Structure 1
Amino acid sequence: MHYRHWATMGLMLLLANGKSAFAQHQNQSIPPDTAVRTGKLPNGFTYYIRRNEEPQKRALFYLVNKVGSILEDEDQLGLAHFMEHMNFNGTTHFKKNDLIDYLQKAGVRFGADLNAYTSFDETVYQLPIPTDNPAMVGKGLNIMRDWAQEAILDPGDVDKERGVILEEKRLKEGVGARMQQQTLPVMLNHSRYAFREPIGTDSILKNFPVAAIHRFYKDWYRPNLQALIVVGDVNVDAVEKQIRKQFADLKNPASERPRPEYKIELTGQNQFRSITDPEITATELEMLIKHEGSTIKTTTDYKNAIQKALFNQMLSRRLGELSQQPNLPFLGVKAGVGDLFGGLDQFSYSVTAKPGKLPEAFATTWQLIEQVKRDGFTQAELDRAKLSYATAMESAKKEKSKTPSSSYVSEYQQLFLQGAATPGFDWEYDFVKATLPGITLNDIKEVATHYITATNRDIFLSAPEKEKANLPDSAAVDAWFSKMATMAIQPYSDVATGNVLLKNIPAGGKVVSRSTVAALDMQQLTLSNGVKVWLKPTSYTNDQIQFMSFAPGGINKYPNEEFPTAANTVGIIGGSGLGDYSPVQLSRMLNGKAVSVGAYIGGRSQGVTGGCRSEDLETALQLIYMRYTAPRKDTVLFENAIARSREAVRNKYDDPDNVFRDTVTTVLGGYNYRTSPVTLERLDSISLDKALAIYKDRFADASQANFVFVGNFNTDSIQPLLERYLGALPALNLNEKAVTLHSEVPKGKLVKVVEKGKGNKATVLLVYNGDCAYSAEESLQLQALTEVLQYRLLESLREKAGEVYTPSAQGSMVKEPDPRFAINVSFGCAPEHVEHLVGLVGEDIANLQKHGATSDELVKFKAGYRKQVELQVKSNEFWLQYIAGKLERNEELQPVPDVEKRLKQVTSKSLRSAAGRYLSGENVIRFVSLPEKNNQ
């Protein structure tokens, strides 16, 4: 249902008073959406079809199976997920790799577009299909039909895939996996779920007989456990006719195994587990209270879901306020009601303590939870939450015609898997309109009373190994809860906030010149203070405006001794509120508005970014004006931020991933002071007053600023607002110049090895880099070369060697501050396979340098590039970045280059030449992360 997405963001509705049919009839079944065509074939196969033109000429095909790891027999652990892989390894009508090869030539990218997942309870295959070619719709249905019941399961292919899946499993190794091994069985009450993790076990993945996966496939891949979802720019009647024709002959097994509905039974008991590990970097207490879950099928269910969303929103705001108090004993805290799985819901709470401060961290944060349970919330808090809810619903109503197909797919997936209602947006809008005003403080307090209980409670305490002797035991933690339940707690005091954001409206300026950029159908205004405004109206959304500004300057202007402060200035000052208002006060004042404005200071420029609805444009412009003219400093927030940063740095290198990441960053930054890791000494040098001075300095002069606005607006009607607020920005006419700081990546062939951590895995990163002659044409050649290399690495490292799960090749080319390129090749693997795999990468590169790309590889790249560009150019984000990028690089504003003309320049010969330039190996750095030797 739509509510799922909004509730997650802590948003939603309040609309009108007055009664309706909803208010008169409680606990009715929610009606189905008539816009979706639903059917079930005699064999039990279900289908859902909906026409939707967002995006145009595209459709999403999903095959949903009520089949997951929970159904595996003891000799099949991991085979539900293995079966998902095997459906890409050959079916009756698509032999091994033919499927991926065919789709790539149609512009569908493997991994990014074409994908699948397996969980405890379902396996889902997703396939985006371009529908501008009618034959592709039929082909998409053919693929779905084969995935449903036509996998070949060739023994040789099964054996090859073992290595790939073992490598996928290896990627999960580390401190997180070690912690999960201890917490998951407890969390799942030692139910069947605790012993059916989808990835499986090494012993079975390595040794299972092919007959075991055949048995799993025959038992469970059957039509009465399957559904096909088709949403997009399609002819519904034609698709339904084809589905009924193609899927009617799917067979259920003659001796059908019942499909059990497994659940996690509640025991009424509390559980405790303490975990220490040398790679854990902070002490955290996590608690979850488990409850029977529910699926939204009735109006009462829906009302309960709204109440939980409001509760979560108000609790989150309270915790946010607490986090802005001085001298905090904790680094972070989270709490709220949500889904678990296995038929359960949960109230979850976690607090990360400062060293030695766990009792105080718990007391400070749980006191707030106890306060909410006892006293609930205030009417002002509930009113704000309802208004925020309403704003999101109103925005969604305006964008109804732009709802992406993916939103509908997720709804129908839940309908099939859980029986969740899908009434459609209009019903939901009307229901909330009638229901939200009647939700009371008692309703919200009942949420807390129901979920925050003292039974079915699991507590997990995790900490660095060195803290083991200092951790409390179960009895001590229970005593903490008992003490908190009986202590006196002061009721929450809700401080009133004003409702006038900008007390003195500026006089503003005037447009002194106007021109048209015909090539991009946009206008350029110059204001009397020198500010330039670039306006491009679009209709990609119904009610969205996005904007950004830039002006020369940035933090490069400050010497190294001021760099730590300059680099953190936006975080320090930008996060401290505006004018007379703290972040809490500012958030309250903006409640009910869909607007966001943030400042940034880059290396060579500074400005603002943000977005809003049309009706909130004046508020957005006021916020822009205040970002320039009314920065605010907050000593408490500054000290809290520095304290959090200090603790993050203190144990940072207990995590091997941080060691590797910082090694890469330091080397690629040429060991430059400004790109090297944060240290305690640097943190100590940061000054709040200096940060405010730097912020004011960077935003003191807007005379060189360029503002770009893209979205749904009328250029003439918004001009007075632009004159009033942007025209009032300060103009000192300093004629600043950006400062370019050059950094040198080490030249030659280098190897950097990091040995850290307990996990038996290696990470390899090969960085081919150097100077280049930047141009749009060369950038495209680099992009094509990188993608062709990606195709080859998937074939050689994954399909043939079976020693890698997801090899990656990524390329980039920049014009400023210096024209440079980089191609990064990365993969995870077994430590003993590093040299072999690096050698295979070298062979693929040598082949590209000698022979260039094949005709098939060129077809795949060009098809994917066309589809990507076609979708990208239909978004406000693309045009905002495109226009601002052109302006900042002083490039002529021209239409997006003709795709076909550009692609003609990409040939086998051009890529052979590009491979010689960009993959020569003259400058290549090999980074390798390995486990510590004493752990091997």
Structure 2
Amino acid sequence: MHYRHLATAGLLCLSLAGSTAQAQSTGQPIPLDTAVRTGKLSNGFTYYIRKNNEPAKRVLFYLVNKVGSILEDDDQQGLAHFMEHMNFNGTTHFPKNELIDYLQKAGVRFGADLNAYTGFDETVYQLPIPTDDPAMVSRGLDIMRDWAHEALLETDDIDKERGVILEEKRLRKGVGERLQQQTFPLTLNYSRYTKRNPIGTDSILNHFPASAIRRFHQDWYRPNLQALIVVGDVDVNKVEQQIRKQFADLKNPANERPRPEYKIALTGKNQFLTVTDAEVSNVALEMLIKHNADKLQTTTDYLNSMKRSLFNQMLAFRLGELSQQANPPFLGVNAGIGNLLGGLDQFSFSVTAKPGKLSEAFAAGWSQVEKVKRLGFTQPELDRAKTSFMTSLDAASREQSKVPSNSYVSEYQQLFLQGTPAPGFQWEYNFVKNALPGISLDDLKEVANDYIQDNNRDIFLVAPEKDKGSLPDSATIQSWFKQVAATNFEPYKESATDQVLLKNLPAPGKVVARKKIAELGIQQLTLSNGVKVWLKPTTYKNDQIQFISFAPGGINKYPNEDFPTASSASGIIGGSGLAGFSPLQLSKMLNGKSVAVGAYIGGRGQGVNGGSSSKDLETALQLVYLRYTAPRKDTVLFENAMAQSRQQITNRYTDPGNVFKDTVGAVLSGYHYRTSPATLARLDSISLEKAYDIYRDRFADASQTNFVFVGNFNTDSITPLLEKYLGALPSLHRNEKAVKIHTQLPKGNLIKTVAKGKEDKATVLLVYSGDCVYNTNNKLQLQALSEILEYRLLTSLRENAGEVYTPSVQGSMSKEPDQRYSINVSFGCAPEHVEHLAGLVQQDIDALHAKGATTDELQKFKAGYLKQYELQIESNEFWLQYITGKVENNEALKALPDMNKLLDAVNTTSVQAASKTYLGGQNSVRFVSLPEKK
């Protein structure tokens, strides 16, 4: 459960159809997709229902309320979000915490599945329900009904929740919140939004009377401000009947308060603010040019949104080109059109400067924006953007029968909250296909002129505290704008892109052996160069192929003096392009194709990974071949990357989180050289030539390489392509073996404290680790123990003590390079509560030692595990990881185990034994991050 600050930037892609000329001239209203059943009850309650089988046997319920923090009275600040919490703490049919308990037993996980959020203008509750049992669908509607109107709001439950909310608020503390507190008033033009941050204020959260939140609930939780969205594997008619029956008797208040539509008024003024903080790493200039947002209601509105999307795409490419020039004065530059809040959208521009280079960084970045406004884009740029736009839409079209339910939910949520149409994909596809060719360069120039204005500008200069005395003032920055405006720009010059990706086709190999694993639908091919290919055809996606390769070798083969270069080699060389093509040239050449291929060099191995559509598989295999045989080095890109890394290292420890993270890593690895943080000395030792040689060495021999392909393909039809490109990979038959580098686990019980930062908050990480016997049953017992301990900590630390927001327990077990386990318990809290909470954790562990798991805990774990497992195995990602893991660990590929039988071995006694084995206290480290002493 959480709250949201600002709407994220981005444009909604809609579906429209019909004549483009007619759409542009009349601006026809956008109709609703006929596949969604919608209605409104006499009390104003709205519903949207859609049948969708992705995933099968699942349904999503969302209760959407046009109720957020903006509606709070002065004495209610934070209570919209507080109310969201209270709906989980007691309703008519689920008093106290019975709702969470009931759903967990049905396989619904708290936080991951069952959740909610509160924003300025809305509160949304989400609930996924399995539909194997029809009674669960009815029960889901009961829960929605309770959330809509039946919160109990008992005084003792309210008082217990205060601590949880305050701890959630504490987690937000940090440099980001401090900066936001200063910039929000300007960004929001001192409107009501400025004073209605959803998390609220400490004074009200600590002391508000129960009557205040009951008043909020009575005023605003009412049917004419609510909608129920149901999407999934359900009978639409039956669900509609149940909704009409269960929600028709909800009543609006007798003298209901009007629900105002708050907006942020534009002032026409420009605003400037300098913000400094000791934890800010670099000097950055950020600018928002605010505009009244266009409503998205008609075909003309949608056409305009397409133009903005194309504009953003082309501007981003221009700025990307700028970033790849030699020694740019900035570390990063971004610009584009996006949503803001309160009826506004924005053109945003930001540039992060290298030390002492702010004026040059600004000039370099803003000149590109000014150049686009003045001269526009070129036809080749627009043609590429249109091709990319349509390629994405074509890919989505091929996956229409596989659209997940949550995508539809998002559409209907925006339809209810914003009136944003949801016309259905096919309508959108037809409209875009017809309208896209008619968008001209003049249209894009008009977008630039509309959005890049010289009023309603907010400029923020954000910098480290140490730089405060040397920062420019508003007048100086205004002079920079004038200097750019006075510049004469040369027209944009296109680089040639008509070259062939792979000019000389390699001599192909041949399949020399085949093996089938019938129970898994897998076929293994052995090619003449030694490469092995594992093929798993699936229908989880209509047009997706994913792949990965791996072979023994990796970074560990190189001595410590070469480690900095070896560990950076795949990033340096992989990011430099391929063959004779720079990354930007490659981007242009691959425009219009659904393909991506990258290379990696890990500790004990190396390979490539990527994916493509069916028609672009040959292009993907050409890229694979080039990743192995034609790496490219680029001095300019290397020097730029080193400059960025140098700045990151220099400023790394201004962030308290990095100090804590690096301390944890150092201690748990026994202060091993290869896991310790990067330093400037290490960075300076990195050599481009050596990185290139290491990369070539790692990919010089593919004879021990395994490739795994998963997706919608025919094994026989893709075999010639595999022979042509994978069979042509170099083969030296080195017979390499992975080098294992062992780290020393910390022995005994240790406490490590880090004092860094100014906020009054602590971060606690308890790590229990040791050697183990790695096998499937032990991994399952470890996971059961971890999840059951988390259930208990949610009760003891959050619900009972009220001193923690979200305790987390993560268990893991590894086979290589050593058979080891780790259980990490983590939470944030007030510094003064660390000892108390650590003691409560130990009490829960002791209770597991003494009595093991309860029947309820076992039921929750098994139900949740099964539901997740059923979803996971119906995905390409699962099978790619499963096959890769088995082959890489030299384990047999056989039919998936009967999960119900495996789970039968998880019982009270087994969890008790696991707790003694993995949480016995022989080796533990308590890491604590605290604020610096004042």
TM-score bin, normalised by smaller chain: over 0.9
Q: What residue in structure 1 maps to residue 601 of structure 2?
A: 601
Q: Aligned partners of 1:670, 1:574: CA distance in 2, in Å?
A: 31
Q: Aligned partners of 2:9, 2:345: CA distance in 1, in Å?
A: 15
Displacement of 1:23 in angstroms is: 5.5
Q: Contact conserved, 2:15 with 2:426, CA < 8 A, in 1? A: no
Q: Assess, with a 3 A threshold, how the Cα gap between structure 1 residues 20 and 200 changes in structure 2: closer, same or farther.
A: closer
- The superposition leaves residues 878-927 of structure 1 with CA deviations (integer Å, 9 ceiling, x where unpaired) of 00000010000000001221110100000010000000000011100110
Q: Contact conserved, 2:19 with 2:431, CA < 8 A, in 1? A: no
Q: Tell me, what secondary structure is at the counterpart of 1:833?
A: helix
Opposite residue 129 of structure 2, the aligned amino acid is I
Q: Aligned partners of 2:667, 2:373: CA distance in 1, in Å?
A: 52
Q: What residue in structure 2 maps to residue 863 of structure 1?
A: 863
Q: Tell me, what secondary structure is at the counterpart of 2:372?
A: helix
Q: Contact conserved, 1:23 with 1:434, CA < 8 A, in 2? A: no
Q: How does 1:443-454 map to 2 (within 5 A)?
A: 443-454=443-454
Displacement of 1:698 in angstroms is: 0.2
Q: What residue in structure 2 maps to residue 114 of structure 1?
A: 114
Q: What residue in structure 1 maps to residue 576 of structure 2?
A: 576
Displacement of 1:515 in angstroms is: 1.2
Q: What residue in structure 2 maps to residue 524 of structure 1?
A: 524
Opposite residue 117 of structure 1, the aligned amino acid is Y
Q: What residue in structure 1 maps to residue 675 of structure 2?
A: 675
- The superposition leaves residues 529-552 of structure 1 with CA deviations (integer Å, 9 ceiling, x where unpaired) of 000011110000000000000000
Q: What residue in structure 2 maps to residue 172 of structure 1?
A: 172
Q: How does 1:44-123 map to 2 (within 5 A)?
A: 44-123=44-123
Q: Aligned partners of 2:321, 2:484: CA distance in 1, in Å?
A: 20
Q: What residue in structure 1 maps to residue 356 of structure 2?
A: 356
Are 2:488 and 1:466 aligned?
no
Q: How does 1:632-671 map to 2 (within 5 A)?
A: 632-671=632-671
Q: Aligned partners of 2:607, 2:421: CA distance in 1, in Å?
A: 45
Q: What residue in structure 2 maps to residue 28 of structure 1?
A: 28
Are 2:567 and 1:567 aligned?
yes
Deviates more, 1:220-229 or 1:295-304: 295-304
Q: Contact conserved, 1:10 with 1:309, CA < 8 A, in 2? A: no
Displacement of 1:26 in angstroms is: 3.4
Q: Aligned partners of 2:266, 2:11: CA distance in 1, in Å?
A: 29
Are 2:390 and 1:394 aligned?
no
Q: What residue in structure 2 maps to residue 761 of structure 1?
A: 761
Q: Aligned partners of 2:32, 2:280: CA distance in 1, in Å?
A: 48
Opposite residue 582 of structure 2, the aligned amino acid is S
Return 5+ residue gaps in structure 2 as ranges.
1-6
- The superposition leaves residues 361-390 of structure 1 with CA deviations (integer Å, 9 ceiling, x where unpaired) of 001111111101101110000000000011
Q: Aligned partners of 2:299, 2:11: CA distance in 1, in Å?
A: 22
Q: Tell me, what secondary structure is at the counterpart of 2:26?
A: coil
Q: What residue in structure 1 maps to residue 908 of structure 2?
A: 908
Opposite residue 612 of structure 1, the aligned amino acid is S
Q: Aligned partners of 2:889, 2:289: CA distance in 1, in Å?
A: 54
- The superposition leaves residues 547-595 of structure 1 with CA deviations (integer Å, 9 ceiling, x where unpaired) of 0000000000000000000000011000000000000000100000000
Q: Aligned partners of 1:405, 1:872: CA distance in 2, in Å?
A: 16
Q: Tell me, what secondary structure is at the counterpart of 2:727?
A: helix
Q: What residue in structure 1 maps to residue 695 of structure 2?
A: 695
Q: Aligned partners of 2:314, 2:552: CA distance in 1, in Å?
A: 41
Q: What residue in structure 1 maps to residue 792 of structure 2?
A: 792
Displacement of 1:498 in angstroms is: 2.2
Q: How does 1:58-457 map to 2 (within 5 A)?
A: 58-457=58-457
- The superposition leaves residues 308-341 of structure 1 with CA deviations (integer Å, 9 ceiling, x where unpaired) of 1101110111111100001111001111000001
Return 5+ residue gaps in structure 1 as ranges.
none
Q: Tell me, what secondary structure is at the counterpart of 1:897?
A: coil
Q: Contact conserved, 1:10 with 1:389, CA < 8 A, in 2? A: no
Displacement of 1:223 in angstroms is: 0.2
Q: What residue in structure 2 maps to residue 924 of structure 1?
A: 924
Q: What residue in structure 2 maps to residue 774 of structure 1?
A: 774
Displacement of 1:487 in angstroms is: 1.9
Q: Contact conserved, 1:508 with 1:725, CA < 8 A, in 2? A: yes
Moved over 4 A (4+): 5-15, 18-25
Opposite residue 265 of structure 1, the aligned amino acid is A
Aligned length: 928
Opposite residue 350 of structure 1, the aligned amino acid is S
Q: Contact conserved, 2:16 with 2:30, CA < 8 A, in 1? A: no
Q: Aligned partners of 1:881, 1:861: CA distance in 2, in Å?
A: 23
Q: What residue in structure 1 maps to residue 4 of structure 2?
A: none
Q: Contact conserved, 2:11 with 2:305, CA < 8 A, in 1? A: no
Q: Assess, with a 3 A threshold, how the Cα gap between structure 1 residues 799 and 45 changes in structure 2: closer, same or farther.
A: same
Displacement of 1:499 in angstroms is: 3.8
Q: What residue in structure 1 maps to residue 586 of structure 2?
A: 586
Q: Aligned partners of 2:11, 2:57: CA distance in 1, in Å?
A: 30
Q: Contact conserved, 1:13 with 1:433, CA < 8 A, in 2? A: no
Q: Aligned partners of 1:372, 1:458: CA distance in 2, in Å?
A: 21
Q: Aligned partners of 2:10, 2:614: CA distance in 1, in Å?
A: 24
Displacement of 1:848 in angstroms is: 0.5
Displacement of 1:760 in angstroms is: 0.4
Q: Contact conserved, 1:331 with 1:353, CA < 8 A, in 2? A: yes
Q: Assess, with a 3 A threshold, how the Cα gap between structure 1 residues 24 and 200 changes in structure 2: closer, same or farther.
A: closer
Opposite residue 758 of structure 1, the aligned amino acid is K
Q: Assess, with a 3 A threshold, how the Cα gap between structure 1 residues 21 and 445 changes in structure 2: closer, same or farther.
A: closer
Opposite residue 346 of structure 1, the aligned amino acid is Q
Opposite residue 705 of structure 2, the aligned amino acid is A
Displacement of 1:10 in angstroms is: 11
Q: Contact conserved, 2:24 with 2:300, CA < 8 A, in 1? A: no
- The superposition leaves residues 247-291 of structure 1 with CA deviations (integer Å, 9 ceiling, x where unpaired) of 001010001100000000000000011011111111110001000
Q: What residue in structure 2 maps to residue 745 of structure 1?
A: 745
Q: Assess, with a 3 A threshold, how the Cα gap between structure 1 residues 361 and 24 changes in structure 2: closer, same or farther.
A: closer
Q: Aligned partners of 1:159, 1:888: CA distance in 2, in Å?
A: 53
Q: Aligned partners of 1:20, 1:165: CA distance in 2, in Å?
A: 51
Q: Contact conserved, 1:14 with 1:436, CA < 8 A, in 2? A: no
Q: What TM-score, normalized by structure 1, do the two folds share?
A: 0.98
Q: Tell me, what secondary structure is at the counterpart of 1:614?
A: coil
Q: Contact conserved, 2:14 with 2:423, CA < 8 A, in 1? A: no
Q: Assess, with a 3 A threshold, how the Cα gap between structure 1 residues 808 and 753 changes in structure 2: closer, same or farther.
A: same
Q: Contact conserved, 2:289 with 2:455, CA < 8 A, in 1? A: yes
Q: What TM-score, normalized by structure 2, do the two folds share?
A: 0.98
Q: Tell me, what secondary structure is at the counterpart of 2:598?
A: strand
Q: Aligned partners of 2:530, 2:396: CA distance in 1, in Å?
A: 37
Q: Tell me, what secondary structure is at the counterpart of 2:822?
A: strand
Opposite residue 595 of structure 1, the aligned amino acid is V
Opposite residue 373 of structure 2, the aligned amino acid is K
Opposite residue 355 of structure 1, the aligned amino acid is P
Q: Assess, with a 3 A threshold, how the Cα gap between structure 1 residues 268 and 20 changes in structure 2: closer, same or farther.
A: closer
Opposite residue 486 of structure 2, the aligned amino acid is T
Q: Aligned partners of 2:855, 2:713: CA distance in 1, in Å?
A: 45
Opposite residue 687 of structure 2, the aligned amino acid is S
Q: What residue in structure 1 maps to residue 515 of structure 2?
A: 515
Q: Contact conserved, 2:15 with 2:423, CA < 8 A, in 1? A: no
Opposite residue 556 of structure 2, the aligned amino acid is N
Q: Assess, with a 3 A threshold, how the Cα gap between structure 1 residues 13 and 650 changes in structure 2: closer, same or farther.
A: farther
Displacement of 1:666 in angstroms is: 1.0
Q: Aligned partners of 1:546, 1:12: CA distance in 2, in Å?
A: 28
Displacement of 1:9 in angstroms is: 9.5
Displacement of 1:7 in angstroms is: 10
Q: Aligned partners of 2:288, 2:166: CA distance in 1, in Å?
A: 32
Q: Contact conserved, 2:9 with 2:338, CA < 8 A, in 1? A: no
Q: Tell me, what secondary structure is at the counterpart of 1:615?
A: coil
Q: Tell me, what secondary structure is at the counterpart of 1:435?
A: helix
Q: Contact conserved, 1:12 with 1:388, CA < 8 A, in 2? A: no
Displacement of 1:294 in angstroms is: 2.0
Opposite residue 684 of structure 2, the aligned amino acid is D
Q: Aligned partners of 1:6, 1:90: CA distance in 2, in Å?
A: 32
